[in-house]
Amino acid sequence: MFHSQINFADAQQAVGFLTPQLLRINTEVDMQKYPSFDYARLLFVDTDGGMWSRGSIFYSGDIAGKPEWFAGGAFDIPYADISTTQFLQENHLKALGYQWFRQELEQAAQMGRNLGNEKAAACRKVAEANIYAMTIRGDATKGLTGIVNNPNVPTATVPADGTGAATAFSTKTADQINRDINEILNAPYNASGETQRANTLLLPTTRLQSLASTRIGTGTDTVLKFIQENNSYTLETKQPLTIIGTRELETAGGSGTARMMAYDNEKDVLRLYLPGPHELFPAWQKGAFTWEVPGLFNYGGVEFRRPKGAAYRDGI
């Protein structure tokens, strides 16, 4: 549509020019990927519900009962039973959109060109970055915690037996590092009564890089290679252990120290509620010279259904 055919003072004509432009832009932006904010590789993402859902109710159950010695003619049969507890998970709306000014629309129409997708791309990237940040560390304004700072996950500090009685991996031998990592990998299995086995290990990025270059003895194997091949999860299940480096763990531990995390990455242990992923809505004229493209996402937060299926170790 050429400039001579558009009256931007007429809301209907202006939106008629803007709408197909935004359809193209949003399609392009939806195709973009941002690996640095890929929270889906860290945990199960539950998208049930929708943009306007207020939350979810779910139930946790357990069994109870104890067999007792019994005489053949007695009447007092002991019974088994089940118990259930109801939980409410609340969702929260968060907004992020962008706007166009009449000057920008006029210039695009005069030049006969499509509007650029920079604003939409920036909007989507900022929204994804925020979802990622909340998934990692939570948001105190809503009482949310994240993957790396849940107070119900068992936490400890690695032994201080490095050079100078330090805890950091940089002060320790390969054998000591192996011990610390195998201890955290075994922690969920032992704490959960052997029902949850850690299949994922999160390390600060700098520690992962260090393990990849730290040799065991005078051989060619690195500490990282040894752990990948000889951890208890892999030996028991014949499945590879997932090891991920993340910058978010560099200062996540007590007193700002580096933290590592091991967990059973299954949805009955840990999940993210995201019933309404970030969505851009139709444009509307909000003022004489301004058109707004509103955006929303509906976020429920990270939930540890079984906190003992995970473990934190600080000071590495």
10 and 141 housed in the same domain: yes
187 and 244 housed in the same domain: yes
134 and 98 housed in the same domain: yes
Domain that holds residue 235: 155-271+305-314
204 and 238 housed in the same domain: yes
pLDDT of residue 285: 85
CATH classification of the domain holding 217 = 3.30.2320
191 and 175 housed in the same domain: yes
Share the mean pLDDT of the chain.
86
pLDDT band, residue 157 (cuts 50/70/90): very high
Q: What is the pLDDT of residues 176-199, one digit of tens each?
A: 998 999 999 999 999 999 999 999
Distance from C-alpha of 182 to C-alpha of 185, rounded to nearest angstrom: 5
> DSSP string covering 188-206, please?
HHHHTTSS----EEEEEHH
The contacts of residue 168 (CB under 8 Å, 6+ apart) are 162, 258, 315, 316
Number of domains the chain contains? 2
The greatest distance separating any two alpha carbons of the chain, rounded to the nearest whole angstrom, comes to 100
Distance from C-alpha of 280 to C-alpha of 97, rounded to nearest angstrom: 7
pLDDT of residue 1: 41
pLDDT of residue 216: 84
Q: What is the pLDDT of residues 231-261, one digit of tens each?
A: 888 998 999 999 999 999 999 999 999 999 9
Q: What is the pTM of this model?
A: 0.80
pLDDT of residue 2: 44
191 and 230 housed in the same domain: yes
Q: Provide the token pair at 196.
A: 């949850």
Q: What distances in angstroms separate CA 95 from CA 243, 295, 313, one per listed residue?
A: 34, 6, 35
Distance from C-alpha of 311 to C-alpha of 173, rounded to nearest angstrom: 23
Whether 96 is covered by a domain: the verdict is yes
Lowest model confidence (mean pLDDT) among 35-44, 76-85, 156-165, 307-316? 76-85
DSSP letter at 240?
P
